[in-house]
Homo-oligomer: A and B are copies of this chain.
Amino acid sequence: MTSLKNDTFIKALLKQPVARTPVWMMRQAGRYLPEYRKIREQAGSFMNLCTHPELAAEVTLQPLRRFDFDAAILFSDILTIPDAMGLGLHFTESEGPKFLHPVRSAADIDKLPIPDPEMELRYVIDAVRLIRTTLAGQVPLIGFSGSPWTLATYMVEGGSSKSFRQVKGLMYEQPKLMHGLLAKLAQSVALYLNAQIRAGAQAVMVFDTWGGMLNSEDYLEFSLSYARQVKDQLISAMNGQKIPSILFTKGGGQWLEAMADTGYEALGLDWQTDVGLARARVGAKVALQGNMDPIALYAPPHVIQEKVTAILDKYGTGSGHVFNLGHGILPDVDPEHVKVMVDAVHDYRHAR
């Protein structure tokens, strides 16, 4: 494979020196781009985009044609693993993702298969291969998965939730069952991410979107320990190149020390967490990714520039920072504002 023309993202994750802070954006391939909306309409459904590698690849590359991002991220859904386990993923207009067969009992958990990524998730792995080839070394490609806990929330609830009553009920009342489910998911996620790495992903990210809904004890026991099991099983290098991995727990700012002890090279920060304080707490161990409030992208350009500068000032000098939002970009942001953000990151120079 061709070598990377721009490796600042990988270097920053490994805390190696970089000439400027790299930047990419969660949900950078998405609805705020008119070219995305066009192809999404042609595809007929969101899952059609995900399951056709040429469409997933096209959508992945769209933002890179507009913006000087330092990384591409696979376009896919967070719920591909439960779908491959046979839960019957479908999307409703008003309520988002739903599963036909939620997981509630010992029997439900026992019969869950561990998907073979090259078989049941072949469409994802093929997309990774195609994107990596098409990128031709322009920037690195990030693979991703939901965390075991986050996948479990959707599988037990049968879809999205506000209160997480079902999944917390299982956790509180039948913790052994919950651990059984999470162990299967940790194994599945590791296999899935390793298949993405073998197919060309040069870094991977684990999205623990709902870890922040747990209390501190339960977070460590039911979310973080399985994110660590995933990390323990990940391929650490391919063809002599290290494959860094990023752990992002939305709402996890109180647990950064424990997160930094799991072996992940970098932690994603939500926008509520102060990046300067976070660096003081765990910056010796891990790189940090984040963390502008996505809502700031609605503001006029000079405000966006101020917010970018404030975050870069707070992180301070030295490598180990990847600029990003603190959560995904919202669907109706003006794409010109994204350019303002990217340019502000790249043009920034630390005061001496």
Interface set of A (CB-CB < 8 Å, partner B): 163-165, 168-169, 172-173, 212-217, 219, 251, 253-254, 271-274, 277, 291, 293, 295-296, 298-300, 303, 307, 310, 326, 330
Contacts and interface: CB of A to CB of B under 8 A. Distances in A.
A254 B254 contact: yes
A90 B78 CA distance: 38
A216 B173 contact: no
B172 A214 contact: no
24 contacts: A163-B295, A165-B330, A168-B295, A168-B296, A169-B298, A172-B295, A172-B298, A172-B299, A172-B303, A173-B300, A212-B272, A214-B272, A215-B272, A215-B274, A215-B293, A216-B273, A216-B277, A217-B274, A217-B310, A251-B251, A251-B272, A253-B254, A254-B254, A254-B274
A298 B171 CA distance: 12
A173 B299 contact: yes
Nearest to A327: B163
A295 B217 contact: no
A165 B307 CA distance: 16
B163 A330 contact: yes
Given A173-B303, A217-B310, A164 B272 contact: no
Q: Which of A168, A173, A215, A307 has the most CB of B within 10 A?
A: A215
Given A216-B277, A277-B216, A310-B217, A272 B299 contact: no
Given A215-B272, A253-B254, 5 more contacts: A164-B295, A168-B296, A172-B307, A214-B272, A216-B277
Contacts of A326: 215
Nearest to A293: B215
A172 B272 contact: no
Contacts of A217: 274, 310
A274 B216 contact: yes
A272 B295 contact: no
A236 to B, nearest CB: 31
A213 B326 CA distance: 11
Contacts of A272: 212-216, 219, 251, 254
Contacts of A303: 172-173
Contacts of A274: 215-217, 254
Contacts of A253: 253-254
A164 B299 CA distance: 13
Contacts of A254: 253-254, 272-274, 277
A295 B251 contact: no
Contacts of A296: 168, 172
Nearest to A172: B299
Contacts of A295: 163-165, 168-169, 172
A326 B271 CA distance: 22
A330 B272 CA distance: 26
Nearest to A295: B168
